Copies of this chain bind each other. A is one copy, B any other.
Amino acid sequence: MSLDQAATGPLDRLAAHLAEDMAAVNALIRARMASEHAPRIPEVTAHLVEAGGKRLRPLLTLAAARLCGYRGEDHIRLAATVEFIHTATLLHDDVVDDSTRRRGRPTANLLWDNKSSVLVGDYLFARSFQLMTETGAIRVLEILADAAATIAEGEVLQLTAARSLATDERVYLQIIRGKTAALFAAAAEVGGVIAGAPAQEVAALRAYGDALGICFQIVDDLLDYEGTGKTGKNIGDDFREGKLTLPLIKAIAHADGDERAFWERVIETGRQEDGDLERALRILRGHGALEAARADARAWAERARMALKALPENDTRLILAELPDYVISRIS
């Protein structure tokens, strides 16, 4: 997608629609990522926060609150909370994955060290709990604390499933529901809860976030095999790390004897040679695994759109309904 297309895309329309709220969120994030005593903290955090992430998750919170007619200020705190949780998990993920690039820039663990990334991540987690506590809304705290636990659970599951050819689509779904969709779902849900929306609408917001998050992660995993480098990720990272993502799982399910031996060598034992990524891509294409994963992503996008039907019809809902297509557009 070119920059011109992006400038008129639904994510930009959502950001424009919520520009005033988002400015307040950004100001709150900058104020709260400071630390009087440990200057290393804002250095590391600024590197990541200012790198121009899409702020998709906090936008979900703001949009959900707006959609449900909220008129207070707590959605600003909750959106900042969600972005802090997200930033903390990015810092820890990059340590766990030994990543070197994020959002097109060197990662914090590369620029400083793993120690700083672990501890600054912990600081941001704590900051997020301070922020959400300020709302005094216990149901919101439950949802976000549950999401934080589910995220960590998904990450641990991913760690133990890595390099195991026994990882199937059911386990994959559980992993991405944890590591990605849990925060999308919680981000949307708390917007509804803080607005005092009826239970049916809150459930619809959660279902929307869940489906959008799953769609988002499937697309992200596809980009690891067919991205152009514009996303700021290194192509083939997941393959090199032996991560069992959807395209790989689908191809392995159809593997013949030779392919099975190949997957055992490159994924299970991790002994990779020049040309292995290219061979993996040929096998994936041969089994239609990339196309099948794209179809799954499209189905989740459709589920996200359907979930919105239970919500009040307004401008915000119209933009949210276009977001799944924006996510899909990254791979088409």
Chain A contact residues, CB within 8 Å of chain B: 35, 37-41, 89, 92, 95-96, 114-116, 118-123, 125-127, 129-130, 133, 136, 138, 141-142, 145-146, 148-149, 151-153, 155-157, 159-160, 174, 178
Q: Which of B115, B123, B146 contacts A130 (CB 8 A)?
A: B146
Report whether B142 and A118 are in contact in the complex, using a CB–CB cutoff of 8 Å: no
> Which chain B residues lie closer than 8 Å to A125 at the CB level?
122, 125, 148, 152
Report whether B156 and A123 are in contact in the complex, using a CB–CB cutoff of 8 Å: yes
> Which chain B residues lie closer than 8 Å to A174 at the CB level?
37
Report whether B153 and A123 are in contact in the complex, using a CB–CB cutoff of 8 Å: yes
In angstroms, Cα B118 to Cα A151, docked, is: 13
> Which chain B residues lie closer than 8 Å to A123 at the CB level?
149, 152-153, 156
Report whether A38 and B157 are in contact in the complex, using a CB–CB cutoff of 8 Å: yes
Pick from A138, A149, A151 the residue with the most CB of B within 10 Å.
Answer: A149
Report whether A145 and B129 are in contact in the complex, using a CB–CB cutoff of 8 Å: yes
Report whether B40 and A92 are in contact in the complex, using a CB–CB cutoff of 8 Å: no
Given contact pairs A41-B156, A129-B145, A133-B145, A95 touches B118 in the complex (Cβ within 8 A) = yes
> Which chain B residues lie closer than 8 Å to A133 at the CB level?
138, 141-142, 145
In angstroms, Cα B149 to Cα A125, docked, is: 8
> Which chain B residues lie closer than 8 Å to A157 at the CB level?
37-38
A39 → B minimal CB distance (Å)? 7
> Which chain B residues lie closer than 8 Å to A39 at the CB level?
160
> Which chain B residues lie closer than 8 Å to A159 at the CB level?
40, 115-116, 119
A235 → B minimal CB distance (Å)? 23
> Which chain B residues lie closer than 8 Å to A141 at the CB level?
129, 133, 141
> Which chain B residues lie closer than 8 Å to A126 at the CB level?
145, 148-149, 151-152
In angstroms, Cα B59 to Cα A158, docked, is: 35
A181 → B minimal CB distance (Å)? 14
> Which chain B residues lie closer than 8 Å to A148 at the CB level?
122, 125-126, 129
In angstroms, Cα B125 to Cα A155, docked, is: 14
Besides A96-B114, A123-B153, A126-B151, 9 new A-B residue pairs in contact (Cβ under 8 A), listed by A number = A35-B153, A37-B174, A40-B159, A92-B118, A118-B118, A121-B122, A126-B145, A126-B148, A141-B141
Report whether B149 and A130 are in contact in the complex, using a CB–CB cutoff of 8 Å: yes
Given contact pairs A141-B133, A141-B141, A151-B126, A120 touches B156 in the complex (Cβ within 8 A) = yes
> Which chain B residues lie closer than 8 Å to A95 at the CB level?
114-115, 118
> Which chain B residues lie closer than 8 Å to A153 at the CB level?
35, 37-38, 41, 123
* Minimum CB distance partner of A150 in chain B: B126
**Cβ contacts A to B, 18 pairs, < 8 Å:** A37-B157, A38-B153, A38-B156, A40-B156, A40-B160, A41-B153, A41-B156, A89-B122, A96-B114, A116-B156, A116-B159, A122-B152, A123-B156, A125-B125, A130-B142, A130-B149, A133-B142, A133-B145
Report whether B155 and A122 are in contact in the complex, using a CB–CB cutoff of 8 Å: yes
